[in-house]
Structure 1
Amino acid sequence: MIYAPMPDNEQERLHELIRYEVLYTQYEEDFDQIVRLASAICKTPISTITLLDFNKQWFKAKIGIDNTEGDRGTSFCGHAIMQDESIMVVNDALEDQRFIDNPLVLGDPNIRFYAGYPLVSPSGYKLGTLCVIDKVPRTLNEEQELTLKTLGNQVVKLFELRLRNKEAQIKAQLIEDQKKQLEESSSAQSKIISIIAHDVRGPVTSLKTMIELTKSKSLTEAETALLLDMLDKQLDGTLDMLTNLVDWGSMLLRKGKLSITSVQIYALIDKVFKSIAPMMQLKKNQFQNLVPEDIAVKADENTLRFILRNIISNANKFTSNGSITISLVPAENKEYLSIVVADTGCGMPLEIQQELFNPAKRHSREGTNNEKGSGLGLILAKEFAEAMQASIEVKSEPGKGTSFILTLPASI
């Protein structure tokens, strides 16, 4: 027996085969039809579309045999790809020195007749064969040989079509992704324009009016003091909203590139608290961080800081002479943890809770010290929580306080 030789361009041939992404794939009706037709026209019980891997032959389509693959070294197809784009015909394997003691001849499937046509890619690489096999000696007539060649060429065309379709699908998906990104960008721009028009123009207009009234000396000292106090509160809310817009814009740019790592919750909450401690002191609120120091969650640290800052700031806004407590509780899903931010503030009615995260019905309520707000922070907090596979819910009762529950994947 002579083992099937390796072509000189074997490495390049394998690269070409891999490029078509057809090796070891599901059976497909288009290829099955070809082997059935080849078997019927050549009047053989066995036909296969065989692809040659480094050390195996694998059947993309087959009829008449149960095996899905075999050894390349003992394969007839391994010899057939050494032909110069012509059919290799073995009329009687027992009279061919290459195959006389081949295990495929002496045992199952007891090959005596073989005809294989190389499947040659447009680049000239032989990927495998279309072959017909019989268990008795025989020959092919000219019409059968022509049919085998024609069907073999059709196999390669199907490979090409399959590859082009896949490339077209990838391009279509890229176009769809780009379209989605443009739509998201357009939506973000519309939101920003709407927010600026609604929430920035008002305080700036009020400031301009105040300056003009002061210049004209139309106001008394008491009226001026009252207007300054109102304007001060309006500008506080505007500055808070602008901070959120800047953070939002920054996160939008890297929304698809969130850096999910293990984040120590206690340390992050401590940083957030220190940044807003002066505002808590003004409201005479007590703050408690009851989260264990060694517990971590899977999150993007900057995004989680943004979310917690907005939730804690919101709790402080609607609480005076009270307390804000942050604790950790197990979630229903054991792979998640819930961070609970609970305050003893004024709470909120059910109808506001139901619309709290709805951008179309953005609420801006005054805080317990008449602080102004834009209603934007919590909406953005929910948007970016969902981008991290986290969730936010709220529970509140008027006069008894509010709890925000932020649930994230635990970091084991």
Structure 2
Amino acid sequence: MSTTASTTASTTAGTTTAGTTTAATAGTASAGATEDARREAELSAYEALTRQPRRELRALTELAAVVTRVPMATINLITATEQHQVAAHGFDASICSREDSMCAAILHETEPVVLVDARLDPRFEHNPFVTGELGDVRFYAAHQLVTPEGVAIGTLCVFDTEPRVLDDHQRLSLQTLADRIVDVLELDRRTRQLTATLARMRRVQRELERSNEELAAFAGQVSHDLRNPLTAVGMALALLREELEEAGPENDAVGQASWLATRALSATNRMRELVDELLDYARIGGDLRRTEVDLGEVVAEVLADLEGPLAHAEVSVGALPTLHADRTQLRALLQNLVANAAKFVPEGATPVVDVSATRLDGRWRVEVADRGIGVAEADAERVFEPLTRVDTRVEGSGIGLATCKRVVNAHGGEIGLQPRDGGGTVVWFELPDGSAD
């Protein structure tokens, strides 16, 4: 081979080698950064660097020293830049840079590292903890602390200023203690998670108790304010019907009045039944009396009851399913939704009410849509809270949508509202497939 060819080949080979080395270095750096990020996430979850060390960790560190008969032991947790000694025996715990850490150098090892004399190991012959700059470590043994997710977060380390040898029993004991340290950290994390969950459950329970107390008080008030007047109206209509029937059916005007009285009495009785059962529901949590309920029939009854408010409304009703549900409560739900759709409209506007249903994956979705004044996005959840009125221009108690939510929740469903394209609101509720045929 000529000198020129040889030089060219050497240069090409050198370039290729350099390129390969650069790519390998970049890949290693990327993998290291990823591992550091996983380690930081695990350490953050354990809160091991921000909380006082548990006495169990100190006890395990002392036990490691006793079992191995080595004067010094520590638990080292390694971050991207530092080594933290969170528990120590035989010396004062401290923090050092990751560059100086002996344990950081063996963190990626898959097996424990046991060195009779660290000065003889190329990895540590220039380490400041070996050379005398920061320490005089001779004997060194470390076992990685590996989390259940497979992330090495640090080590259980024992060391001495004199060379030593560990027997097989001592090596196995060191491994066992390292595993128990991870168990302690995991137990501490799970305990904190469970404590936080219990605290949230207690808050929810207190809120439910408060809501139940409010509902019970409200039910008592409604019982007094609605039941007695309804009874009086029903008795008056019954007497009126008797008087009209006695006047004779030959008079067309009397016959028409008798028919109207009968219809009004029927509506009053249904309303009294509705109030009684809804009050029971508010008091005792709503025991459901499930039957096969034809929503089409229920909506027809609702439209008949709301004939006055809907006199000038444009109402459309699509095909509706038959549900296995509590008829009285679904009727209350739909009566509230339809009444709201007709009530909350701009002054002078014609109410528009559209009722439809759609079969979704494992559930039915029923929608009651209007062209009314709408609900602000900020109030979309608040309107379902008891006694909440977001628009005081329209009369109401603020209990209607809260009752709707209780009915839907009792059936294992969900309820919500959203803006309607072109203006207005769509209030929807979904019932799981087990509630529908």
Higher RCO (CA 8 Å, separation ≥ 6 residues): 1
TM-score (norm 1): 0.46
Rg larger in 1 or in 2?
2
TM-score (norm 2): 0.44
